[in-house]
Structure 1
Amino acid sequence: MSMLNVESVTRLFGGFKAVDGVSLQLADREILGIAGTNGAGKSTLFAAIAGQQPADLGRIMFGGQDITRVPPYRRARMGLVRTFQIPREFKSLTVHENLMAAAANPQGERLLNAFFQTRSLRAHEAQLAAKADGILQFLNLARVRDEPAGGLSGGQKKLVELGRVLMLDPRCILLDEPFAGVNPVLIEEICDRVRELQDRGIAFIVIEHHLQALKALSHRMIVMDRGRILAEGDPHTVLDDPRVQEAYMGGVV
């Protein structure tokens, strides 16, 4: 059984079909790449899968459960999380504090715990702090642990965004343009981290315009055009498809 099944999903804006009857499957530990020109429907599809813009038609199954009408926070608790094209870090908080803020159900936010610093609360916060430090070490961000997140480079902010979702112990991560505005060295580092996480059991769907990097990272690729799937399969075969090359204005992709 696939981890994620998207079945004939349509997302409407007025009479316009931003996503038009899209179906896809994602297996355990798979990295699926999604490409397409601007306006192809990629980010809207992500928003439908993650729940920010629920599907108007169709069905979404995750881990064998129908999540079509499940709100985003519950999908995240189930292990289905996403990042965004533009990182949404808390600029004035440190990198470490950004990860701590992303933790699911932090006990310190409960009313009684806010007044009484209980032993269990202190132990829980120490546990979260250690978890955040481990993630920062994994992402090679330990050296900027105590720096304000707003002062990081674009690539470092993308890594912080990844670190924040890792605090939620995800089973599937939707990465929205992780290479946009990132230098080639950090692109390779992000790819390395994704591959290592995939080895640990996390599945990924990756939207990206950087086609060569996406081809190298993905096990399988989908190209969207005008809200529909234009081509699907092995990345090399998909990018050699004449329909895909025509969608990219006749250029070699």
Structure 2
Amino acid sequence: MSDDSALVLDGVFYRVPTLDILKGAYLKVEAGTVCGLFGRNGSGKTTLLKVAAGQIRPTSGLTIIDGERLHKPSKWRRFSKIAYLPQETMLPPDVKVQTVLRSAGMRIPNVRERVASLCDQEVRELSGGEKRLVEVEVVLGLDRDYVLLDEPFTGVEPLLIDEMCTRIEKAAECGKGIFVTDHYHQYIAPLAETAYLMWQKQCHQLQAEGSIENELEQIGYL
């Protein structure tokens, strides 16, 4: 892993006709680490993830992947390096979980026990939390260097969130760079080695000299 092993968003602006959503946002996700992004509803978190994933094109700014500058969306290059979990479910309802896993190139014996126990069920039979657990397993199991997780914990019961957190930690230990945002700050804060707060349409890096939650309290976010 070299010093350039990172996903960087640099000077990202995103405008719609009547509104500036991002104004020069900068963020860095190093390989082998978890980076947390905090912010209020409407602060631009999802927009930033979509820019990184190539889902939308910024008004200006760079995405840099392992030292390579991408001036244009370059979807093939992004998709070969980045896996993206959106807020909305991405699982087809009429197939079994084992089919979903195999279509993602995953071997059933290698997935976590809780996910393996769902393999014979159709997606439509799963609870919302179980669907999210399967989705997290899939995106983290893909052969990608960086994984973007948008609200993976929202609406999920605590025991399943604990399963997800363990899986995220394991993925980072194996060298993946994980970029995660969620309103459940109490789960992200212990995971994150670096963290940013979306404020005034920019990313402000948290110093976390004590703890991320303490700093969020000091600046009035919590």
Look up the equivalent residue of 1:92 and give its one-letter code: D
Which position in structure 1 is the counterpart of 2:96?
94
1:217 aligns with 2:220: no
SS in 2 for 1:53: coil
Of the three residues 139, 153, 171, the one matched with 1:165 is 139
Of the three residues 186, 193, 218, the one matched with 1:241 is 218
SS in 2 for 1:233: coil
Q: Per-residue CA shift, 1:150-196, capped at 9, x if unaligned?
A: 22122211122123324531111001111100111111111011111
Which position in structure 2 is the counterpart of 1:20?
23
Distance 1:70 1:231, change over 3 A: closer
Distance 1:217 1:197, change over 3 A: same
C-alpha displacement at 1:99, in angstroms? 2.5
Which position in structure 1 is the counterpart of 2:206?
232
SS in 1 for 2:99: helix
Alpha-carbon distance in 1 for matches of 2:154, 2:98: 23
- Structure (1/2) with the larger strand percentage: 2
SS in 2 for 1:88: coil
Q: Per-residue CA shift, 1:60-84, capped at 9, x if unaligned?
A: 100121234234344121x211101
Which position in structure 2 is the counterpart of 1:192?
166
Which position in structure 1 is the counterpart of 2:61?
58
Of the three residues 134, 154, 157, the one matched with 1:183 is 157
SS in 2 for 1:37: coil
Of the three residues 23, 33, 36, the one matched with 2:36 is 33
Given that residues 140 and 168 in structure 2 are in contact (C-alpha distance below 8 angstroms), is that contact kept between their aligned partners in structure 1?
no
Distance 1:237 1:188, change over 3 A: same
Q: Per-residue CA shift, 1:190-224, capped at 9, x if unaligned?
A: 10111111111111010110111111111121111
- Structure (1/2) with the larger helix percentage: 1
Count of residues in Structure 1 that have an aligned counterpart in Structure 2? 216
Look up the equivalent residue of 1:195 and give its one-letter code: E
Alpha-carbon distance in 2 for matches of 1:162, 1:181: 14
Q: After superposition, where does 1:82-121 map in structure 2 within 5 Å? A: 82-101=84-103, 103=104
Given that residues 186 and 213 in structure 2 are in contact (C-alpha distance below 8 angstroms), is that contact kept between their aligned partners in structure 1?
no
SS in 1 for 2:188: helix
C-alpha displacement at 1:95, in angstroms? 0.7
- How high is the TM-score relative to the length of structure 1? 0.79
Given that residues 12 and 19 in structure 1 are in contact (C-alpha distance below 8 angstroms), is that contact kept between their aligned partners in structure 2?
yes
Larger Cα Rg: Structure 1 or Structure 2? Answer: 1
Alpha-carbon distance in 2 for matches of 1:194, 1:61: 23
Given that residues 133 and 160 in structure 2 are in contact (C-alpha distance below 8 angstroms), is that contact kept between their aligned partners in structure 1?
no
Alpha-carbon distance in 2 for matches of 1:161, 1:68: 30
Q: CA RMSD in A?
A: 1.8
> Which portions of structure 1, spanning 4 or more consecutive aligned residues, are displaced by more than 3 angstroms?
70-74
Percent identity, please: 28
- How high is the TM-score relative to the length of structure 2? 0.89
**Unaligned stretches of 5+ in structure 1?**
104-127
Look up the equivalent residue of 1:88 and give its one-letter code: M
Alpha-carbon distance in 1 for matches of 2:63, 2:138: 24
Given that residues 18 and 226 in structure 1 are in contact (C-alpha distance below 8 angstroms), is that contact kept between their aligned partners in structure 2?
no
SS in 1 for 2:124: helix
More divergent stretch after superposition (170-179 vs 152-161): 152-161
Given that residues 76 and 168 in structure 1 are in contact (C-alpha distance below 8 angstroms), is that contact kept between their aligned partners in structure 2?
no
Given that residues 24 and 61 in structure 2 are in contact (C-alpha distance below 8 angstroms), is that contact kept between their aligned partners in structure 1?
yes
C-alpha displacement at 1:100, in angstroms? 3.1
C-alpha displacement at 1:15, in angstroms? 3.9
